[in-house]
A and B are shown apart, each in its own frame.
Chain A
Amino acid sequence: MKFTCLSKGGGFHFPPCHVLNVCGFRILFDCPLDLSALTIFSPVPTGYRAVVDEKDSDCQPYSTLDSDCVTWKRQKIGKPLDANDLICAVPWYKIVKYLHLWNVSFIDVVLISSPMGMLGLPFLTRIKGFSAKIYATEVTARLGQLMMEDLVSMHMEFRQFYGPEGSTFPRWMEEEELDLRPSALREVVLGKDGAELGGWMPLYSAADVKHCLQKVQTLRYAEEVCYNGKLVIKAFSSGLEIGTCNWSINGPKRDIAFISSSIFVPAHAMSFDYHALQGKDIVLYSDLSSLDTMEGIEDGYSFLTTDSFSTLSWEESAQSLLNTSEHLEEREKLYYLCSCAADSLKASGSVLIPINRLGTFIQLLEQISASLESSSLKVPIYVISSVAEELLAYTNVIPEWLCKERQEKLFSGEPLFAHVELIKDNKLHVFPTVHSPKLLINWQEPCIVFCPHWCLRLGPVVHLLHRWSGDPNSLLVLESGHDAQLALLPFQPMEMKVLQCSFLSGIKLPKILPLLNVLQPKITLLPEDLRQKVRFTNVNPFSVFHYSENKTLIIPSLKDSSELEIATDLAFQFQWRNLKHENMNITRLKGELHVAHGKHWLHSGNKPSKSNSSKSRPLLHWGTPDLETLLSILSKMGINASVEQGVGVEGSKKACIVHVHDPKKALIEIGDTGTVISAVDENLASLIFEAMDSILDGI
């Protein structure tokens, strides 16, 4: 078994990506896009700026581009970034850096754990020769599709502005152009080691997305699928988002659990089903969320070692996983966010929330509307996105994928999420774009707007930021973890208040060990970066391997044998032989081997084998024959024989020859490694064989 981490990713929106070789199959885990890299592009100038531009010169957008080019060239590279440093072109998108080094036609299976892990998939499926089987949960596929469609439709704005893309290499990627860019920008384009330029792609089309979705086989949670008879694959809820999952892969030789970013007690999605991953041979731990938030934590938490947990019983470990403190913490954050929003609204400022995390978005909608209600603020809430209507409707028809509390709402006949009622009561308005006629009629400020995209380069957020960036009473809510400085660059000077907020995106550091304690794998794969953070003592019952980017780990095989199931009818045909001195029973067996459902099966086959009709004779012998015994057995059979010692046929070998005269003529030539029987007829030869068989061990 081989494991290669292609990318550790970065944060919620850019999950890790790995390749696993198992049972002769190559499995790719997730295929995300690094959308944070979009910040190197300049957003499309909007109406507000355009008005200003038009006064200066009524030139084409291309001409402004050229003047921009001139300004960069004058700049010194070391200067702090400003808005003019950003690339003015139709953006390209960055896939996992090492993925393009692999031949995708050799991938057999792709497992998609989350909608975010799907965004790069159309790049693979449109490659000729790509033939892997893709699995994702039904909800992941649907949400992923909506996200990709939204991306394509937001991207259209760039196309309309810059005109159709040329098929050639864009100018900004050329070496001499890049050399002129500030180093921070160049690093985003090329990566630290300069190897990432090949990961940039022009965006896929809506047709590519559709084609991609047709290739995805969707699953329910805990639905079993069997790949090629050998791998039984199941998805179990990970709790990160609605429909996100971890994977259980059972093969004939080992059972594997793949753990992506998981949340034990989420407030909307079905909780992390870690029980289903218990007792696997190998745990591939791919929740790297704790790395993103590490800096602040290091003083707060002391290093963790197994010492403190070795005394914990299994039950205590399980208990510690489910404590609700992180759940409460998340609620606190939302409350705080709501109170900040209320403050802005009271000062007649608007609130702009470009948060695309579905769970956070839905909960914020509920919280904010509730807090508006209680503070009797009558402010409209807008959701602006090309897929918002469908997304909100969809979340209300998937009760099977939600947490227990939400499912209770189904059983009592209430809507699963509050937005259903909000839309009905006209408190929440959903529009596809900022220039929808209905929006223009309805528009009221101050207001609260939820809209994409969090990178602040695409979608309605760009327009609204331009509108409100000068208003000190307005509030922008951003997810932390990204370079806010760079993200806000095109909107400087920013008068608007900015609130950065981090949300729980995976298993927290202190819970990793208790989790592994509960899962009890034999082997655990952890990222190298956790080596110092999660220390194991010698007493831990499993071995740990650390992986790092683009290095292939070879995992030793645990068993030297595979599981095999023998059909009862075949088992009844066994003719056992007892080997006394070895204390073992042996039997020859023959059948048809099938591989199905991750197991080997031995059936008796269609045609009755020759050996069935009569008692089968041993075909293989070992040991040293004893002459005395042989002679006495032969005489019991009525065969008289005499021994001619030491005269080997080939001289050098010490062989002996037994001559038989009665009842018929025969010869037995006994050597070190073998015996030759030569008799005048079949019967006698057969009798002598039986005699030999009885003095040797055989099967």
Chain B
Amino acid sequence: MAIECLVLGAGQQVGKSCVVVSMNGKRIMFDCGMDMAYHDHRRHPDFSRISEYGDFDKALTCIVITHFHLDHIGALPYFTEVCGYRGPIYMTYPTKALAPSMLEDYRKVMVERRGEEEQFTSEHIVECMKKVIAVDVKQTVQVDKDLMIRAYYAGHVLGAAMFYTKVGDSAIVYTGDYNMTPDRHLGAAQIDRLQLDLLITESTYATTIRDSKYGREAEFLKAVHKCVLGGGKVLIPTFALGRAQELCILLEDYWERMNLKIPIYFSSGLTMQANMYYKMLISWTSQKVKETYSTRNAFDFKHVLNFDRSMISAPGPCVLFATPGWISGGFSLEVFKQWAPSEMNLITLPGYCAAGTIGHKLMSGKPSKIDLDKDTQLDVRCQIHQLSFSPHTDAKGIMDLVKFLSPKHVILVHGEKPKMATLKGRIYSELGIRCDDPANNETVCIPSTHHVEVGASNTFIRSSLNPNFNFSKMSSEDESDSRLKDGKFMPWLQVKDERAAEGILVEEKGKRAKIVHLDEFLLMLGEKKHDIRFAYCFPINTDNLEDTKSTDVSSSSNALSVSGRSSWLPMLYIKLSDELSGGNIQYFGEQIQVESFSVSLCLKDRCPYRIVDSPPNKCEAVFFCCAWSIADEKLAWKIISILENRNYGTL
């Protein structure tokens, strides 16, 4: 089984985001964005690749939207209302609350100002939003029996989320856009350490290491402050929701700190009603903003007043938020016409303006004249400040997230091709994780995880969880210097917990496979154990043993004092300890034990296991009897050869 990842948008580009992932029989679409740079079919993802015949309900299990920006949600009403997808759609509460307004603003600009044929109507937006199921951060949503999704805080805009998706044993995370550092109104992205097969991450700033957003925010505030100090007017064209509240919260805070009394206005399109959304969703903002809810909700703007048309040409400095953004017409254009010719004034522009709008014209270079229409030209002498703090993570943030999650595979989307290639290389070389950066309409297949589910008996579980201490002595080489220091023959003892789960997996016809402990197994079968052991009885020449006494063991004098048969075993013990490294050799007086291998003195005249031919001079030989089980077959023969070699070696 594999996870199939079809990139319909934002493949090696920053534009419409749309990725369709198939895993274990489920198919999930992540984001359904539009590319505002195009005006033909290319603005939408190529939905025909999902289902040739347009049967999207069958082809998709669900849609997941990460946040309310148009490049992530713009094509959704088209897909549901025009293409006819009727399945479930998931997004966070703020996204569901704010998306309709974003979509409506966009629709208006496209249709009313540019006279374009509309892709979807207002009713479409309403109908589309009815299909949306709102989710909370960290809420575990069971889409169906097998598919589970969960949102994590992404910190890109209000309500932005990364989505964890799990089907069976396979799991992936799709990040959407995210920000790893907190800013003035949002917190940083936050996710659990998850077991992932795949991480699909944005890579807008794949190679950039950026300073904090605070710097750029300060720049904006400084520009505004300078303008109003000089008696100028500041025009901030925005749409009703989103940027207006984000900027206003900055200004409010700044006004408070600097004790400024200059009025901040909202034009009629930007009602206080819109702020209501932000007020109710304040728990999705940063810790600092969040805590203000009871005393004074930070989105209860104190300095903000309503603007009246008559005030356009009133003297004195002011700051004005006016709709629509991009200065595509309406009130913001009206104000722009009045204010643009004065050098004292300031106009701020967002990071993106749709082509064909005044905003777009202002962004390209610094024109001194702008054609409003065929006949009218406008002198533009005012200052222009471009807002550059789109809250995306930088390369360090992406690397941090990939390292933190340590998925088996990474796919990069939402970035520029050459930079993505660099980041891809870094992920592979620095983190050793396979990484892809597919282009649009390409499919990447990666293997998925599976587990075999069985039952396990209590005895097995208990015995597996019991610690299994293994005492072993350090081999002589390892502890040579410590031995020198002590000047003694004391080997170091090592204690290791080598707990291992050992059992028998039983698969019976018509029953669930089950793991049992060895001891339970025979009981279960009703059979008696038949123990197979090995035995071996062999002689060691006593002459040689005497040699050993006088040579090797001379240093440890107390072993020497005991003479006769009782001293032979200790000598073997010393021999073994010396030559057999790593084994756990135990001496019990009557016998020496290594794992299941045991050796003891054989006092019988006729031992059945005395297979080897007796040495010629019988009287001088001492017999030793060994026994072991199959598990220690190799070990046993090794020990025997050590002992026998000694014997024959000195002959």
Contacts and interface: CB of A to CB of B under 8 A. Distances in A.
A582 B500 CA distance: 28
Given A410-B97, A413-B274, A397 B506 contact: no
Interface string A549-588: 0000000000111111111100100101000001111111
Contact of B630 (A398, A584, A665, A689): A689
Contact of A593 (B150, B465, B525): B465
A622 interface: yes
Given A399-B93, A680-B611, A586 B507 contact: yes
A399 B454 CA distance: 42
Contacts of B637: 682
Nearest to B132: A411
B455 A562 contact: yes
A564 B455 contact: yes
Interface in A661-699: 665-667, 669, 673-680, 682, 685-686, 689, 692-693, 696-697, 699
A394 interface: yes
B453 interface: yes
B170 to A, nearest CB: 12
A642 to B, nearest CB: 15
Contacts, number: 232
A224 to B, nearest CB: 5
Contact of A679 (B279, B500, B611): B611
A696 B129 CA distance: 70
B44 to A, nearest CB: 25
A697 B529 CA distance: 10
Interface string B127-170: 00100001011111110000000100000000000000000010
Contacts of B281: 397, 399, 410
Interface string B532-546: 111111000000000
A407 interface: yes
Contacts of A674: 530-533
A590 B283 contact: no
A276 B534 CA distance: 59
Contacts of A689: 532, 534, 630, 633
Interface in A205-221: 219-221
Place the interface of chain A in its size category: 35 or more
B530 A396 contact: no
Interface in A92-136: none
Contacts of A561: 455-458, 514
- Secondary structure of the A contact surface, majority rule: mixed
Contacts of A678: 534-537, 608-609, 611
A674 to B, nearest CB: 4
Nearest to B516: A561
A620 B611 contact: no
Given A399-B281, A586-B505, A605-B500, A677 B276 contact: no
Given A564-B515, A680-B612, A589 B503 contact: yes
Nearest to B169: A565
Nearest to A400: B136
Contact of A390 (B136, B169, B294): B294
Contact of B633 (A221, A223, A568, A686): A686
Nearest to B511: A584
Interface in B21-45: none
B504 interface: yes
B8 to A, nearest CB: 28
A677 B527 CA distance: 22
Nearest to A411: B97
A592 B502 CA distance: 9
A617 B294 contact: no
Interface in B451-494: 451-458, 461, 464-465
B297 interface: yes
Interface string B518-532: 100110010111111
B507 A584 contact: yes
B474 to A, nearest CB: 18
Contacts of A222: 136, 139-141
Contacts of B348: none
Interface string B273-316: 11011011111000000000110010000000000000000000
A679 B610 CA distance: 9
Task: Report which residue of A390, A565, A618, A665 has the largest number of chain B beta carbons within 10 angstroms of its beta carbon.
Answer: A565
A4 B499 CA distance: 35
Contacts of A276: 142
B136 A622 contact: no
A410 B93 contact: yes
Contacts of B139: 220-223
B509 interface: yes
A234 interface: yes
A625 B530 contact: yes
A586 B276 contact: no
Given A583-B509, A676-B533, A697-B527, A617 B611 contact: no
Given A622-B528, A676-B534, A686-B633, A220 B454 contact: no
Given A222-B140, A564-B453, A666 B611 contact: yes
A621 B500 contact: no
Nearest to A685: B534
Interface in A596-654: 600-602, 605, 609, 617-625, 649
A370 to B, nearest CB: 20
Task: Report which residue of A399, A619, A667 has the largest number of chain B beta carbons within 10 angstroms of its beta carbon.
Answer: A399
Contact of B294 (A393, A413, A693): A393
B508 interface: yes
A405 interface: no
A685 B129 CA distance: 78
Contacts of A390: 294
A238 B518 CA distance: 46
A414 interface: yes
Contacts of B457: 560-561
A345 interface: no
Contact of B140 (A234, A600, A605, A679): A234
Contacts of A559: 455
B535 A676 contact: yes
Contacts of A10: none
A592 B630 contact: no
Contacts of A605: 500
Nearest to B134: A407
B280 to A, nearest CB: 6
7 contacts: A221-B136, A234-B140, A410-B281, A571-B452, A674-B531, A689-B534, A697-B527
Given A618-B630, A677-B535, 9 more contacts: A400-B134, A410-B93, A413-B274, A413-B276, A416-B280, A591-B501, A667-B611, A675-B531, A678-B609
